Structure 1
Amino acid sequence: MLPEIPILMEQYRALLEILPEQHPEYPNMLTYYRRQEAGRKGEDSLCYYLEQAQVPSLHLLNGLRLEHPSSFQLDWLVLGLGFRAIFEVKSHTGEIYFDAKSHQLTRTIAGVTEGFDDPLLQVDRQYAKMRTFLSDHVIYQLPTYRFVVFVNRNVILRLHDYPEYKRVLTAQQVPSILEALAEQHPPVISEEANQAIAHFLVNNHRERMASILEKHHILWDDLIKGVPCPNCSRRSMNRTRMRWQCEYCDTRSTDAHLPVLYYLALLTGNQLTKRLVQSFLQIESGEATRKLITRAGYVKFGVKKGVYYSHPYILAATKNESGHKSQKSGHKTIESGHKIYKSGHEI
């Protein structure tokens, strides 16, 4: 499964929802999230140009992340019947210069120059890992081209003395590049085989999930507890007669806790404990806490003191193989009729 929003990006968004703005790390987390968001928008903007290519039977895979044995991720992988292409997307603006001798990219904006790693070396390393992955899984190899694409219209590329200039593109060049490659490489595999390869790759996709609280030295006690009101956003709603009630605007809700559960699932590596949930929902009964978790469709793992609960969507996205067998909680996960919160939506 290739999710619309990467799990790592959802983790940072979840953290921003329950991290106080006064926390010293809040500005850094906001900057980090916005940087991820800009990168994602850049990848999304390339989709339009990829789809403009007049080439039949192309499969376009965005954000594919494979582990074999170490992980690698491709911004865009294009699977054709006679060729393949990898596109590394950059959203830089300003004046870009590629230095062939130092293998460095420099960007100049308003007289300020910054240095970055050569993205062509990056995409070449990704290709080498993908080639090994395909070979070890006995998947037919095809000529594979690697490009870096700058999607910001305000970028200025200085490539006059760069020997690999043909592999550095603007987004508008992508359709014609794909059409030229298709003409150069006629089909050698069938549409059915190409579709099967795409399906296999997607099935082997593994989303990255990081321990971001530990990484940024943020304590659980630093986070905001309580269930926010879905109407006025104030905390904390009170649990009364199996409903949540806001003491500020009198809004009542049966599922206001679902966003909090999902945020906690993202921040715990998808291993919710009853004690942690009870603390963040601020309810007195441990048994009521357990019922809220299981009725929300979370999957139970472990026994006795080792019990934890996982969100089924995150399980599917990360392909997280637990050492414990799933136990029946009395409620089905997806087909239970209960709402399961994911990124502000029900699934």
Structure 2
Amino acid sequence: MVILTQLNYLEGKMIIKPLEKPLTIKKLEALLIRIDKNHPKRPQIEQDLAKRMAGYKGEQSMEYHLSFLDERKYYILHALRLQSSSNYCFQMDVLLLTSKYFLIIEIKNIIGQVTFENHFAQFIRTLNGIEEGFYNPLDQVKKQKLRLDSFIESQKMKRPPIKSLVCFTNPQTIIRSDSRVKASQSVMHAHNLFSKLEELNQQFDSSMFTEKELLKISRKLLKQHCEEVVNILKRYDIDRNEIINGVQCPGCSNIPMNRQSGSWFCAKCNLKSKDAHIATLEDYRLLFGPNITHLELKEFLGLATNSTTSKMIYSLGLTHCGSRYRRTYKLK
């Protein structure tokens, strides 16, 4: 759960929840570092990472278009994930809060031609003459609207009109639909967002919320944000003994580095580093969680002795729990 500690003004905009690299992407990146180059699951992991990175880059490019908004009128929450009354979690790429309405924005970063087809409610991408089906984003935002409305009702908040948009961030994407799909009002290129918001602002005359109320709602939504918990090893059925131990060289990415006189030394590129172990322990945290024992830290960093390991733990200032012989440390 995320608790609001400060409001972030990014390029003059009220960013209630800023855009961050998704945790699942970080876990996939750590996993690729720690499995063999010829691992049979590697192609699937690389493909999944590429898809998620495309989505993340689309969200990054969306920030440019959001930067034109008036900070007095729009509160912005990126990647807000809420739990509905039916215990089903749903995530919105962007949620804009205004005094008149709330707006869900689903971001798509897809190249080629996309077609919304009504008969089978299909969303089809055509690229280099090859057709590929995707989950229909219009159906996706429709469900998000229903779940957000239900969530707001469960929190006993005033229920504003909820609108939704599907925005394509690649300006070269060609958008088509058959004559029976009314997509023009809710599907657009991201560079048309500002014009669409002007249209929505004219559509709704009266305000439902004061600025103070909107800020209170923003805080409440942020407190209810629930991070997705993904056991990345379980997802790909990868065993612990398949994970490569050792400190990775920040220069050439070689594993392992050697510990010499209080520093890490890479035999491949001759790089010397005082803190290369920090990134390696972050890999451990992403793959196995924040708790680590003395022995696990020793083996994962490739330290030679227990005394060196104890000195490392002391230098990291790790908090611990448990008795002396069953002590567990928490990675920051």
TM-score, normalising length: structure 1: 0.82
How do 1:119-198 and structure 2 match up within 5 A? 119-161=137-179, 162-185=181-204, 186-198=206-218
Provide the identity percentage.
Answer: 30
2:14 aligned partner? none
1:70 aligned partner? 88
* Residues in 2 aligned to 1:290 and 1:71: alpha-carbon distance in whole angstroms: 41
- Note if contact 2:116-2:178 (Cα within 8 Å) is conserved in structure 1: no
Alpha-carbon RMSD across the aligned residues, in angstroms, is 2.3
Is 1:81 the equivalent of 2:113? no
**Residue aligned with 1:244, SS:** strand
* Residues in 1 aligned to 2:219 and 2:142: alpha-carbon distance in whole angstroms: 23
Specify which of 245, 248, 263 is matched with residue 228 of structure 1. 248
Aligned length: 312
Q: Evaluate the alpha carbon distance shift between residue 204 and residue 300 of structure 1 in structure 2; reply closer, same or farther with a 3 A threshold.
A: farther
Specify which of 63, 67, 73 is matched with residue 47 of structure 1. 63
* Residues in 2 aligned to 1:106 and 1:303: alpha-carbon distance in whole angstroms: 58
Give the Å deviation of 1:226: 1.4
**Residue aligned with 2:264, SS:** strand
Q: Evaluate the alpha carbon distance shift between residue 245 and residue 110 of structure 1 in structure 2; reply closer, same or farther with a 3 A threshold.
A: closer
Q: Evaluate the alpha carbon distance shift between residue 238 and residue 144 of structure 1 in structure 2; reply closer, same or farther with a 3 A threshold.
A: same
Q: Which runs of 5+ in 2 are unaligned?
A: 3-16
* Residues in 2 aligned to 1:250 and 1:176: alpha-carbon distance in whole angstroms: 55
Specify which of 278, 282, 292 is matched with residue 272 of structure 1. 292
Give the Å deviation of 1:307: 4.4
2:277 aligned partner? 257
Question: C-alpha deviations, 1:167-186, integer Å up to 9, x for none?
Answer: 11111221111122122223
- Note if contact 2:320-2:329 (Cα within 8 Å) is conserved in structure 1: yes
Specify which of 82, 97, 111 is matched with residue 93 of structure 1. 111
Question: C-alpha deviations, 1:256-280, integer Å up to 9, x for none?
Answer: 2111111010001333333332222
Out of 13-22 and 277-286, give the one that drifted further: 277-286
* Residues in 1 aligned to 2:132 and 2:252: alpha-carbon distance in whole angstroms: 43
1:19 aligned partner? 35
**Residue aligned with 1:272, SS:** strand
Give the Å deviation of 1:234: 3.1
How do 1:30-45 and structure 2 match up within 5 A? 30-45=46-61
Q: Which runs of 5+ in 1 are unaligned?
A: 313-347
